[in-house]
Amino acid sequence: MRGSEGHRGPCPAPAASPPVLEARALAVTYPGGKEGLAPLDLAVAPGERLGIVGESGSGKSTLVRALAGLEPHARGEVRAGTLPVLDQRRESRRARARHLQMIFQDPYHSLNPRHSVRRILREAIAVREDPPRGDALEAEAADLLRSVRLDPALLHRKPHALSGGQRQRVSIARALAPRPAVLLCDEAVSALDVSTQGAIVRLLRALHEERGVALVFVSHDLPLVEYLCTRLLVLDRGTLVESGPTAEVCRQPRAEATRRLLRSVLLPPAEPVAGP
C-alpha cells in the first residue's frame, strides 16, 4: 500500500469477534482514470469508535461512501458483516440496512421534506425483520426521539419546522431505527454551529455506550475526533498515510499530513463545548 510508513500496525483492528465492517483492497477511480482512493484494507471491530481524518480532498468522504456502497469500487470489496455492500438485490439491501446505516452531512437534504418525523421513523423501523405494529410502532418512534434527547411531541413536525441540530438528531434516530451494528457518520456535524457540534458528538458517544453500536466518524475537525474516537486513520490525496490509536497518533504523528492537521488546531484538544 502506498504511503504506509506512518502505520503503527495493520489497519484492521484486532478483535476476537468478526468485524462488523471490512474492506479488502478497496480502491475508487473516478471517470477519466483519476484515482479517488488508493487500495486499502480496514476492519471495524464490534463497538469500535473509528475516526477518519484528512484535509479537504483527502478522500475521506470517498472512503466512507464506498464503505456504504454509495461509491462504485474500482477494485476490492466491502462487507457489512457477511453482506457485500454492492449486492443490489432487494433482500440484500434490506439486510444490509439492518446492519449498516449512514448519517449524512446535511440534515435538511437527507430528510424527506414532505414527510413528518413520525413517518420518517416509522419507515426506518419497518426495515427490521420483525417490526412492531400499531401502538407498539408509535411507542417505538417516540422512544427513538427520546434516545436522541428530543421531545416525542416533534413526531408531528416536518423537517423544515426543526432547527439544524434537531434535524440531525432526527437523522441519528432514523439511522438507529433498524438497530444497526455500525453507523457511518460522514462529516455529520460540519453543517452545524460549534455548540451544536459538541452536543451531537457527545450524543453519539453516549449512544455508543448505551447501545454498543460501532461508529465510523469522518471529519476534518481533529479535536472532535480525539474526543469521540479511539482509533484513527489519516488520509492524504486518496492514500492512507497513518493509522493507530488516536492518542498515540496525535501525540507522535509520523505522517506530514497528520502534522499539518495538528498544526491547524489553534487550541489544545478539549471536550466539546456544552450545548443543547
Note the pLDDT tens digit of each residue in 149-182.
999 999 999 999 999 999 999 999 999 999 999 9
> Could you give the strand order of the β-sheet that contains 21-29, starting from the edge strand earlier in sequence?
35-44, 21-29, 75-80, 83-84
Q: What is the pLDDT of residue 27?
A: 93
Q: What is the pTM of this model?
A: 0.86
3-state secondary structure at position 160: helix
Cβ 223 vs Cβ 49: under 8 Å: no
Q: What is the pLDDT of residue 190?
A: 83
3-state secondary structure at position 267: coil
pLDDT in tens, 55-104: 888 999 999 999 999 888 889 999 999 899 988 888 888 999 999 999 98
Beta strand segments in 5-72, E? 6-7, 21-29, 35-44, 49-53
Q: What is the dihedral of CA 105, 107, 110, 113, to 10 degrees?
A: -160
Residue 120: is its pLDDT beyond 50?
Answer: yes
Mean pLDDT, the chain, whole residue set: 87
Q: Please give the average per-residue pLDDT across 223-247, as a whole number.
A: 93
Q: Please give the average per-residue pLDDT across 36-59, as a whole number.
A: 93
Percent residues over pLDDT 90 in the chain = 64
Query: How many residues can be counted in the chain?
Result: 276
Q: What is the pLDDT of residue 2?
A: 38
Q: What is the pLDDT of residue 90?
A: 86
